Amino acid sequence: MALEEAWQRTWTALGATAPDALLPALLARYAEPHRAYHTRQHLSECFATLAPAAHLAERLGEVQLALWFHDAVYDTRAHDNEAQSARWAQESMRGAGVDPAAAARVHSLVMATSHDGDPDDADARLLVDVDLSILGADEARFAEYDQQIRFEYAWVPEAAYREGRARVLRRFIERASIYRTTWFADRLEARARANLARALGRLAG
């Protein structure tokens, strides 16, 4: 699905009209030169992954909009990317006249993609699993993703990067289940664990 089509479907599902300048502003963010993974490619992959799992959503339009905004602000030197992205999403929805309760839920969904805790509702679990679906990609795509993340952290010295990246990946592989929904776990868990084990081996080497 083209991103422009996904955009229209998102706002149709929300029962609202997107602000005119919002899509170009978002796409400009995802095209920033310091990005290699958190780009339009990632957005497209997320929407392709969501499509067959859309039946898991309680409020599909909100999950879709949260996907659009979950990496809208992305700076590897910052620690509040999700908070800034969530705030932008909430303000954009309010500006479009969307129910404030829906805007607050989307804010919470975007915050869930910080992957700091266990999502407490079905839409958050779905969104987080879609965001983490790259971990269960085929081996070649996962290797490309690994290189893309290194590019985004090019400012970090190699030894420090290896240590920090290994710490992040171990957080996932040490979970009882990487994925929070049975639907994703059944399809991606085994491959994600194999990918993570290979990546950790490379980082250790």
Same domain, 72 and 159: no
Angle between helices 40-50 and 3-14 (to 10 degrees): 60
Same domain, 105 and 178: no
- Give every residue of the chain whose pLDDT is below 70, as ranges: 1
Same domain, 31 and 112: yes
Which one of 72, 88, 117 terminates a domain? 117
Q: Is the dihedral of CA 79, 83, 86, 90 positive or negative?
A: negative
Which one of 117, 143, 170 terminates a domain? 117
pLDDT of residue 191: 98
Closest CA to 44 of 75, 6, 12, 71: 6
Same domain, 87 and 182: no
pLDDT of residue 60: 98
Same domain, 111 and 150: no
Q: Identify whether 180 is part of a domain.
A: yes
In total, how many domains does the chain have?
2
* Beta carbons of 154 and 165 less than 8 angstroms apart: no
Q: What is the DSSP letter of 14?
A: H
Q: What is the DSSP letter of 73?
A: S
DSSP per-residue string spanning 129-143 = HHHGGGGGS-HHHHH
Same domain, 113 and 138: no
SS3 at position 77: coil
Which one of 51, 85, 117 terminates a domain? 117
Question: Which structural domain, as residue segments, surrounds residue 159?
Answer: 134-204
Q: How many CB atoms lie within 10 A of CB 185?
A: 16
Same domain, 77 and 112: yes
pLDDT of residue 1: 56
Same domain, 101 and 32: yes
Same domain, 96 and 12: yes
Q: Identify whether 128 is part of a domain.
A: no
* Beta carbons of 110 and 89 less than 8 angstroms apart: yes
Same domain, 93 and 193: no
pLDDT of residue 118: 87
DSSP per-residue string spanning 37-64 = STTHHHHHHHHHHHGGGGGG-SSHHHHH
pLDDT of residue 61: 98
Q: Identify whether 52 is part of a domain.
A: yes
| CA-based max dimension of the chain | 53
Same domain, 108 and 138: no
Same domain, 43 and 105: yes
pLDDT of residue 138: 98
